[in-house]
Amino acid sequence: MSTTSFTLLLLLCLSLFTSLTTTMHSKPLTSPYLSSATLFPNYQKMLKSFKVFIYKPNEALTFNSPAESLFYSSLQNSPFVTQSPEEAHLFFVPFRSTISTRSIARVVKRHKEELPYWNRTLGADHFYLSCAGLGYESDRNLVELKKNSVQITCFPASQGKFVPHKDIALPPVSTSHAPHAPDNKTTKFLGYFRQVKLKESSLINELVNDPNFLIESEPSDQLTYTMRLASSKFCLFEYGGDVSGIGEALSFGCVPVVITDRPIQDLPFMDVLRWQEIVVFVNNNGGTKELKRALGDTWGKRHEQMKGLGVKASQHFVWNELPQPLDSFHTVMYQLWLRRHTIRYARWG
């Protein structure tokens, strides 16, 4: 083949590849999931087979956050719990929120001495609940717990206390949920921000006098708050601040905008959802110019697509006293189920 013919063939292949890629990306997504074909069959398998053994705590347990309490009570009363350690896929190490790290080390040590299951994998098939998250300690028992076991923590996690691809973040407990986002909602505001905590933010301060944005402290009642969500195109959240309304925003068709100064690795359900398709991420350092540019890029069909996908995803952000299919509890359990074969060994010394 001559050089000219080869060049023409190469250009033709590149042209076909570019056309195919463009077609694939221009096709609107209809699912907020990383893989619907994998999620739903595996979810059904989890419901039928997943088993968890809970170590017996030596004291009454109390938790600081509603998400922790709901997860623990839901797990205790679920069909996932087994009394036979031999049939368990994972082992749960319970302890209260206010326990000291020294006491946690003693809890792990007791389980290691009384039962053989921890020592088989150095805790890799174990998980624990800690809203604040554990840091890195020198005690060997805490080293194994932190490095090998799955930590279930609250979102957003404390900086430096979350291990991506191993740990799991609990979604915040929402106070309301829309069964369906209004199809014909009237948009009054481009963006809405609920300033629950009085935190200084130069970006938010710049938006206070912008008529396109509504910035307010805690609304007078829940109805007013839901009306704000339903009448805004975008709902603004500052990562590290109050993010409890993300699930509510999704359910009301208000596309969340997460303002952050660093990459976020602790989003809830990162094994399940296409976060980039339901949330706009904006760098805090870019100011209002960067924020408005990002919102301008998410307009028209793109906004409608994100809104629709967000509404579909919102079912996973609902906590129920009595767990329902695909709600927060079951989706957290699904993430645990995905980790049931992951074995890690701690290195000591």
pLDDT digits (tens, 9 = 90+) for 49-88: 999 999 999 888 999 999 999 999 999 999 999 999 999 9
pLDDT higher at 26 or 150: 150
Preceding amide of 211 cis, omega within 30: no
Tally Cβ neighbours within 10 Å of residue 211.
7
Per residue in 246-255, pLDDT tens?
A: 999 999 999 9
Nearest to 123 by CA among 107, 100, 99, 135: 107
**Are the C-beta atoms of 144 and 107 separated by less than 8 Å?**
no
Geometric angle at alpha carbon 251, from 249 and 256, rounded to 5°: 30
**Are the C-beta atoms of 153 and 168 separated by less than 8 Å?**
yes
**Are the C-beta atoms of 238 and 256 separated by less than 8 Å?**
no
Per residue in 165-202, pLDDT tens?
A: 999 999 999 866 656 555 556 678 899 998 776 566 78
Please, which pLDDT band fits residue 343 given cuts at 50, 70 and 90?
Answer: low
**Are the C-beta atoms of 68 and 154 separated by less than 8 Å?**
yes
CA distance 66 to 244: 11
**Amino acid found at 114:** E
Mean pLDDT, residues 310-330 = 97
* Maximal CA-CA distance, the chain: 81
Nearest to 273 by CA among 342, 335, 228, 218: 335
DSSP string spanning 38-61? HHHHHHHHHHHH--EEEPPPSS--
pTM value is 0.87
Instruction: Give the per-residue pLDDT at 28.
Output: 66
